[in-house]
Amino acid sequence: MRDADSGAARTVAGGRFSRRQGLAAVAALVAGLTPLLWACSRQPIRGRPVAAGATVLALGDSLTHGTGAAPEASFPSVLAGLTGWAVVNAGVPGDTAAQALERAGPLLQSHQPALVLLCIGGNDLLRRMDEATTRSHIQRTVALAQAAGAQVLLIAVPRPTLAARFTGKLSDHPMYGELSEALRVPLHRQGWAEVLGDDRLRADAIHANAEGYAAFARGLMATLRATGLFAG
C-alpha cells in the first residue's frame, strides 16, 4: 500500500509541477507580448506632405556633407533631384550634436525650412561622449526646428561596436528609436547601417561613396513616402 500511495503522491506532485510550468510559460508569453501589443496599439508616426519646391534643411556631419564623394553625389543633392525640393546641405564634417545644435538656430532663421532632416550624433558615439548629453542636444535641436515651424525627420546612426568591425553587420544605436518615440517624430531606420555595412558602398570605414549616398537617398525616399512627408 505504501508503494501505491507513494506512486500516487509522485503522480500528483508531478501534475502540480506541470501546472506550475504551464502557468509560468503563460506568464512569460504574456510578458513578452505586452510590449509588442503596446507598440502596435500606438499610432504610426507620420508627417504632413512637403510641397514640391519647398526648402528642406539637411543638418548633420560628414555623412550629410558627403565626405567620400563629389558634392553633387551627397545624399542631399541626390534627394533634391528625386523630390523637387530645395535641399540645403548643412553637413559639417566632424560636427557633434552640440555643434549642430549651436548652428541650428541661425540656419533655421536663414532658410525657414518646411522640413529638417536631422542626422547627427555619429561623432559623439565614435568619441564615446556622454550619451545622455548627446541625447539632450538632439532633443533640443528637434525642439528648435519645431518651434521654427519645421517638421523633423530623424535619421539613425549605427552603433559603433567591436563586433561590427569584424562582421561588417551594423545596427542603429537604440537612442534614435527611443528619441523618435519620445518626441513623436518620424525616423529613418537602418539607412546608414545598410550602406556602411556594404564594402561596395563605402569610401572608407565610416563614409559612403557615390553609390552609397545614392543608395541611402533611395532608402530615405521610401521612408519619406511611408511617413507621408513625400506625396509625389
pLDDT, tens digit, 9 for 90 and up, residues 25-46 = 544 554 455 444 444 445 679 9
% of the chain at pLDDT higher than 70:
78
Between 73-87, 117-131, 165-179, the lowest mean confidence (pLDDT) is in: 165-179
Average pLDDT of 100-105? 98
Q: Does residue 85 carry a pLDDT above 50?
A: yes
Which architecture, in CATH terms, is 55-226?
3-Layer(aba) Sandwich (3.40)
179-182: long-range contacts at Cβ-Cβ below 8 A with a sequence spacing of 24 or more?
179/135, 179/138, 179/139, 179/142, 179/154, 180/45, 180/154, 181/45, 182/139
Q: Which cell is 90 given? A: 548643412
Determine what percent of the chain is predicted with pLDDT higher than 90: 76
Closest CA to 155 of 211, 196, 199: 196
C-alpha cell at 124: 559623439
Residue 190 carries which DSSP code? S
Sign of CA dihedral 93, 96, 97, 101: negative
User: pLDDT confidence of 4, banded at 50, 70, 90?
Assistant: very low
Residue 160 — pLDDT band, cuts 50, 70, 90?
A: confident
Average pLDDT over all residues of the chain: 86
The pTM for the full model equals: 0.81
pLDDT score at 161: 62
Q: How far apart are CA 93 and CA 108, in angstroms?
A: 19
Residue 115 has pLDDT above 70, yes or no: yes
Check pLDDT > 50 for residue 92: yes
pLDDT tens digits, one per residue of 7-26: 444 443 444 445 555 545 54
Inter-residue contact 133 to 96 (CB < 8 Å)? no
> All 3 cell numbers of residue 192?
546608414
Q: Are the CB atoms for 208 and 196 separated by under 8 Å?
A: yes
Q: Residue 116's pLDDT is what?
A: 98
Please give the C-alpha separations between residue 135 and each of 98, 100, 120, 152, in angstroms, as whole numbers. 10, 12, 10, 15
Q: Spell out where 42-125 has E strands.
A: 55-60, 86-91, 115-119
pLDDT at 118 over 80: yes
Residue 169 is predicted with a pLDDT of 82
Rounded Cα–Cα distance for residues 42 and 37 (Å)? 9
User: Can you say whether the dihedral through the CA atoms of 15, 20, 22, 23 is positive or negative?
Assistant: positive
